[in-house]
Amino acid sequence: MTVIRYVAIGDSFSEGVGDELPDGSVRGWADLVAQGWADGTRRPVEYANLAIRGKLVWPIVEEQLEQALALRPTHLSFNGGGNDMLRPRIPLSRVVDAFRRVLRRCDEQGVTLILLSGANPSSQLPLSRLIQSRGDALSRQVVELVDDRSDVVRALNWPDRELSTPGYWSQDRLHMNSRGHHRVAARVLAALGVEAPGEWWSMPPLDLPRLGAGTYARDHLGPWVRRRLTGTSSGDGRAAKHPAFITVAPGTDGAAAA
């Protein structure tokens, strides 16, 4: 029986920002996938997560990819480019080249790539038309990259119109809430041929009041702009939450250390 060894790399989307637990740690769709995979197959899954919030796509590749492959996974999930799209000028070809690098290295190491596109927050954000246009173009180019690759597992969230509605997003309007992360996890599990709990597709709406323009600008937009102006990142000084494999057992609510 083949042991599933799954590692996630990426930014805040894969780290799980927006799906905060009572102790302040983050969970997110990748944690949920590991648990759902174990439950669906009735066998443990080895799981690592190297994703760190705030990362641009090439730092993800340069800092996380080889570390992830050194763990000798059977499956690697990758998403990136969301932070790049929010910059004033970014050649999408450079973002696609990062996806191309990940695909090549997974091929060389015999690792199954789980390819994700992020969900679409554009309707809630400033410069929504520009973000929508960039996201559409990036999604199209990445799909073209793997168009003839039936061995690449695809969980494309950008086209999911339901997921783009406000009820799936945190108050910062940039990160999905727990409801959104559960829906993404269900999409990934479906792409893997594993049945997710039915309620994950549309959890009950969360009681998160939408912030007014002034409060949103003060609490979320302003700090984001300051980080751009100072060249800092929300991920500065942060370490990966699961840099080595942990064992996720069937029928548990979390992961047990290996």
> Per residue in 232-243, pLDDT tens?
666 667 889 999
**Rounded Cα–Cα distance for residues 14 and 95 (Å):** 17
Mean pLDDT for 66-79 is 98
Which pLDDT tens digit goes with each residue over 89-124?
788 999 999 999 999 999 999 999 999 998 998 888
Cross-strand pairs, 153: 114
Query: How far is Cα 187 from Cα 73, in angstroms, rounded to an integer?
Result: 21
Q: Are strands 112-117 and 45-49 parallel, antiparallel or unpaired?
A: unpaired
**At 152, phi and psi to the nearest 5?**
-85, 125
Residue 178 pLDDT greater than 90, yes or no:
yes
For residue 4, the SS3 value is strand
Query: Which pLDDT score is estimated for 12?
Result: 94
pLDDT, position 36: 98
Whether the CB-CB separation of 77 and 116 falls below 8 Å is answered with yes
Average pLDDT estimate for 251-257: 55
46 vs 135 pLDDT, higher one: 46
Q: What is the per-residue pLDDT for 205?
A: 85
Closest CA to 53 of 220, 235, 227: 235
pLDDT of the residue at 172? 85
Lowest mean pLDDT among 38-42, 59-63, 225-229, 244-248: 225-229
What secondary structure letter does DSSP report for 245? Answer: E
**pLDDT for 217 beyond 70:** no
- pLDDT score of 28: 97
With 0.95 as the threshold, say if the pTM is over it.
Answer: no
- Checking if the pLDDT of 223 tops 80, the result is no
Indicate the residue type of 182: H
Average model confidence (pLDDT) for the chain?
Answer: 89
